[in-house]
Amino acid sequence: PIYRAWEDAGAFAPGRAGAKPFAIVIPPPNVTGSLHMGHALNNTLQDVLVRFERMRGRDVLWQPGTDHAGIATQMVVERQLMDRQEPGRRALGREKFIERVWQWKEESGNTIVGQLKRLGASCDWSRLRFTMDEGLSRAVRKVFVELHRAGLIYKDKRLVNWDPELLTAISDLEVEQTETKGHLWHLRYPIEGTAEFIIVATTRPETMLGDTAVAVHPDDERYKHLIGKNVILPLVGRRIPIVADEYSDPEKGTGAVKITPAHDFNDFEVGKRHALPMINILDQEAKLALEGNADFVRGVDPNPELDWTLQELHGVFRFAGRKMIVDRLEGMGLIEKIEAYTHAVPRGDRSGAVIEPFLTDQWYVDAKTLAVPAIDAVKRGRTVFVPKNWETTYFHWMENIQPWCISRQLWWGHQIPAWYGPDGKIFVAEEETDAGAAAEAHYGKAVTLKRDEDVLDTWFSSALWPFSTLGWPDKTPELARYYPTDVLITGFDIIFFWVARMMMMGMHVMEEVPFRDVYIHALVRDEKGQKMSKSKGNVIDPLELIDDYGADALRFTLAAMAAQGRDIKLATSRVEGYRNFATKLWNAARFSQMNECAPQAGFDPSKAKVTVNRWIAGESERALASITDALQAFRFNEAASAIYHFIWHVFCDWYLELIKPVLAGNDQEAIAETRAMTSWALDRALTLLHPFMPFVTEELWAKLASETEGRKSFLMLAPWPERQGLENAEADAEISWVIRLVSEVRSVRAEMNVPAAARVPLVISGASADTEARAKRHEGTLLRLARLETLSFGKPPQGAVQIVLDEATLALPLAGVIDVDAESKRLKREIDRLGSDIKAIDAKLANEQFVSRAPEHVVEEQRERRVEAEATAARLEQALKRLEAAV
């Protein structure tokens, strides 16, 4: 209901004229996804910041949206079709299938938005965008065309990471290396015209069918004499050269390496250097493709083995083919040895299939060129990473960036705006009509064009997100006002996927960084330090936590744990603790209300007269300062703990307790002031807590004023307080003295097992007139909070237990109420401890270098501590004597 009220009031919308803008774009979640812990953390931090800046008067735009998530979504829908035993993707055909995906998007597309709302995310939902909206699609096409025109997007035939399950190319970033136990086969290749063999080692013997050379190191004495000779490739009969290439490492394997340019990235480079043929021996599904393969038979001499190879191996899956080939070679005596071998196998991060380096035509972005200004922008501090050390990671990757393969053989996504003429000539244009016109001009007549079937990598559209969501390519007022955005908040796992690419696109298209700051937060991981995932079964569902403890508690926990480490291991007990915190606040508000503490127009906290009121004004000022500073520096955890400490341990524990005697008294003026101050301080607490716990604070904000004037507006739109210099040293000194005194007495009572119900008198002796007056002023408080019977001054009675506070001795006449043995033991222990403290301090003060080099206040502190310790020890000795005498 609160969230709805905010929404209905348009509280999330930007547009404060005259205010400085503050813009943030959401990392778009998968449109058909569901809120997980990473989203919860990410969006909590954004919302904390957004609410903070909104309260500080900025014109805040939090731009929300969702991502079409090409592969992921397509896979989900395909799986759905399979589960429902409906016709699969190919049977449906492209158009029908895409329709189904859109249908699924409509069905599930609002789930994540609803979940973000439950979390309290104050995005401007009226501006919700989707990466495949018409506007954003137009931006994609325009950028594609412009980059193509600039030569920064091009089509190229080279090796890509091919996923033989999803039947698409993927980018380097989507490949994961997995350690796998396998074998290393040492194959004997016969050298032409001799009876000799050259032995090559390989983990993938089946690729030998596509070998077009054997490489040895030019300086390798073992093989020098073979350079320039040929090998007859077993089974195939192809004559292939032995070449010298520095790539070959004499230390590895046998020092001779087979070269398969069409199926290995390194071999591809070697192949180019030596102008070797590239023979593709696999089809898209990673089955051996030999029959009718013109490449394959090139350079093959008539060879009886060949027929066998072709017939048996054609159409066999790569791993089955491997076994057949190994068996055959073994039968021919061409296997030197087989070793057990652990090596990294590349797998697709979505499908898990072993990735095949595969020779195809794909579209590429010239990332190397685009990276230059993007690197420069960070080097010059136009964009700053927080924490800063992520810049190292960013630079390292950007400086070694490879061409970005952006075409995907999928159906769900932005179809590439390229059309092919009858002769294969490419026409790249934003619209089909433009391509048609260009083609007509080229051919001199109208021709039928065929559109490129591929779609773009999901991250291509994400890279445009900071400006495409603001209306680009149109020159919208939003674009002018909110670009560049202020801060991007995201996890480190997508620095390469997303942050780097936004930097590149932003610099190229907008000629300006997309954001001033990038706050990189930790990943919420499981206890093994791995990303949470459903398949591992150890996810904590944020929605369950919201159900159990409330969104406020979850948000506070996440903010409090957002320190700049790398992992967050979420403990439910922590969430529970912060739920209790919300309850505590609720109860404090109830107390306030019961005591008729209501906001008073025109109340000026700086004019307060009652000491405790002046003190709380100063304390809330300190809280304001530390929370503001922390949030400005993205130190969410510090801000969270500052407000927690202020509300619980300052406001509830002490202030509310200290004012009880005042409220119970009959000084009407003091009561009135205290009521006003309580309400003021509580309002202040709600305000400072609001970015973290928006729901409970907003609710209390409304409740606490309803009986009097009512609130004109939401807390979320209330101004963040300005500093007013409310600290008051005198009040601080006085209240902290009271707090210490109460704590001391409580501690002694507890330690000596004085029954809680037993009230005892307290005698203060040796105190200055000031201190006596001070104690007298707080008599009610002392009697109540320390559970004392009376307060008097003068000579301590015989048998009283003494404690020392500052210059005063406090005597509690406890003889008869307490366990004397235990107490005297305690005193002795205490005296011993003080003795060793004094020794340590003496040693320090005797050290000339300490005295001369340490900062003055540190030395002074030590001296004071020594004086105190000595005095305390002396008094404890006396107390001990008296205690013993009393028995």
Partner RNA sequence: GGGCGGUUAGCUCAGCGGUAGAGCACUACGUUGACAUCGUAGGGGUCACUAGUUCGAUCCUAGUACCGCCCACCA
Shortest Å distance, C-beta 595 to RNA: 7
Q: Going by DSSP bridges, is the β-strand pair 760-765/788-793 parallel, antiparallel, or unpaired? A: parallel
Tell me the two tokens of residue 269: 């480079």
Q: Is 588 in the site for RNA (CB under 7 A)?
A: yes
Q: Which of 789, 855, 848 is nearest to 817 (CA)?
A: 789
- Nearer to RNA (CB atom), residue 170 or residue 716: 170
Which of 126, 389, 538, 713 contacts RNA by CB under 7 A? 389
- Nearer to RNA (CB atom), residue 85 or residue 852: 852
8 Å CB contact between 640 and 575? no
Which of 317, 591, 714, 793 contacts RNA by CB under 7 A? 591
Shortest Å distance, C-beta 862 to RNA: 8
Q: Is 855 in the site for RNA (CB under 7 A)?
A: yes
Which of 450, 853, 863, 881 contacts RNA by CB under 7 A? 853
- Nearer to RNA (CB atom), residue 21 or residue 255: 255
Which residues, 227 to 256, sit near RNA by CB under 7 A?
A: 247-249, 252-256
The binding track of 445-484 with respect to RNA, each residue x by CB under 7 A or -, is ----------------------------------------
8 Å CB contact between 695 and 120? yes
- Nearer to RNA (CB atom), residue 299 or residue 661: 661
Which residues, 143 to 162, sit near RNA by CB under 7 A?
A: none
- Nearer to RNA (CB atom), residue 21 or residue 253: 253
Which of 108, 266, 303, 824 contacts RNA by CB under 7 A? 266
Number of Cβ within a 10 Å radius of residue 722:
8
Which of 568, 612, 631, 704 contacts RNA by CB under 7 A? 568
- Nearer to RNA (CB atom), residue 453 or residue 548: 548
* Residues whose CB falls within 8 Å of the CB of residue 219, separated by 6 or more in sequence, listed in order: 250
Distances (CA, A) of 186 to 173, 181, 322, 643: 32, 17, 14, 67
Shortest Å distance, C-beta 610 to RNA: 18
Number of residues forming the site for RNA (CB under 7 A) = 88
Q: Is 832 in the site for RNA (CB under 7 A)?
A: no
Q: Give dist(CA 418, CA 816) in Å, integer.
A: 97
Q: Is 197 in the site for RNA (CB under 7 A)?
A: no
Q: Give dist(CA 687, CA 696) in Å, integer.
A: 11
8 Å CB contact between 271 and 212? yes
Number of Cβ within a 10 Å radius of residue 798:
12
Q: Which of 71, 77, 67 is nearest to 29 (CA)?
A: 67
Shortest Å distance, C-beta 448 to RNA: 41
Q: Give dist(CA 151, CA 145) in Å, integer.
A: 10
Q: Give dist(CA 149, CA 35) in Å, integer.
A: 40
Which of 152, 160, 173, 310 contacts RNA by CB under 7 A? 173
Shortest Å distance, C-beta 645 to RNA: 8
Beta-strand ranges (E) seen in 677-807 are 760-765, 788-793, 800-805
- Nearer to RNA (CB atom), residue 453 or residue 707: 707
Note if the bond before 473 is cis, omega within 30 degrees: yes
8 Å CB contact between 785 and 657? yes
Shortest Å distance, C-beta 415 to RNA: 28
Q: Give dist(CA 412, CA 422) in Å, integer.
A: 26
Which of 189, 482, 496, 636 contacts RNA by CB under 7 A? 496
Q: Which of 683, 687, 170, 240 is nearest to 457 (CA)?
A: 170
Shortest Å distance, C-beta 872 to RNA: 11
* Residues whose CB falls within 8 Å of the CB of residue 580, separated by 6 or more in sequence, listed in order: none
Torsional sign, CA 500, 505, 506, 512 = positive
Shortest Å distance, C-beta 840 to RNA: 8
Which of 85, 400, 433, 535 contacts RNA by CB under 7 A? 400
Which of 652, 658, 659, 782 contacts RNA by CB under 7 A? 652
Q: Is 535 in the site for RNA (CB under 7 A)?
A: no
Q: Is 793 in the site for RNA (CB under 7 A)?
A: no
**Radius of gyration of the CA atoms of the chain, in A:** 38
- Nearer to RNA (CB atom), residue 102 or residue 591: 591
Tell me the two tokens of residue 368: 């190397």
Q: How many CA atoms lie within 13 A of 263 on its CB side?
A: 27
Q: Give dist(CA 746, CA 101) in Å, integer.
A: 68
Tell me the two tokens of residue 877: 């000795």
Shortest Å distance, C-beta 767 to RNA: 22
Beta-strand ranges (E) seen in 320-444 are 335-348, 356-365, 384-386, 404-405, 407-408, 418-420, 426-428
The span of 391-399, 450-458, 605-613, 799-807 binding RNA (CB under 7 A) equals 391-399
Q: Is 333 in the site for RNA (CB under 7 A)?
A: no
Which of 211, 264, 454, 698 contacts RNA by CB under 7 A? 264
Q: Is 757 in the site for RNA (CB under 7 A)?
A: yes
Q: Is 16 in the site for RNA (CB under 7 A)?
A: no
- Nearer to RNA (CB atom), residue 118 or residue 183: 183
Shortest Å distance, C-beta 850 to RNA: 4
8 Å CB contact between 640 and 556? yes
Q: Is 201 in the site for RNA (CB under 7 A)?
A: yes
Phi-psi bin for 260: left (phi > 0), alpha (psi -120 to 50), beta?
beta
The span of 263-271, 299-307, 477-485, 708-716 binding RNA (CB under 7 A) equals 263-271
The binding track of 31-70 with respect to RNA, each residue x by CB under 7 A or -, is ----------------------------------------
Which of 352, 529, 665, 835 contacts RNA by CB under 7 A? 529
Which of 773, 858, 867, 885 contacts RNA by CB under 7 A? 858
Shortest Å distance, C-beta 865 to RNA: 5
The binding track of 339-378 with respect to RNA, each residue x by CB under 7 A or -, is --x-xx----------------------------------
- Nearer to RNA (CB atom), residue 306 or residue 325: 325
Q: Is 666 in the site for RNA (CB under 7 A)?
A: no
Shortest Å distance, C-beta 254 to RNA: 6
Q: Is 542 exposed, middle or buried (0-12, 13-18, 19+ CB in 10 A)?
A: buried
Torsion from C-alpha of 282, 284, 286, 292, nearest 10 degrees: -30
Helix or strand holding residue 62 (H, E):
strand 59-63
- Nearer to RNA (CB atom), residue 5 or residue 344: 344
Shortest Å distance, C-beta 210 to RNA: 14
Which of 195, 294, 594, 769 contacts RNA by CB under 7 A? 594
Which of 85, 535, 668, 849 contacts RNA by CB under 7 A? 849
Which of 602, 755, 769, 846 contacts RNA by CB under 7 A? 755
Q: Give dist(CA 423, CA 239) in Å, integer.
A: 35
* Residues whose CB falls within 8 Å of the CB of residue 754, separated by 6 or more in sequence, listed in order: 748, 760, 814, 817, 818
The binding track of 544-563 with respect to RNA, each residue x by CB under 7 A or -, is -----------------x-x
Q: How many CA atoms lie within 13 A of 875 on its CB side?
A: 21
The binding track of 416-435 with respect to RNA, each residue x by CB under 7 A or -, is --------------------
Number of Cβ within a 10 Å radius of residue 852:
8
Which residues, 628 to 647, sit near RNA by CB under 7 A?
A: 637-638, 641, 644
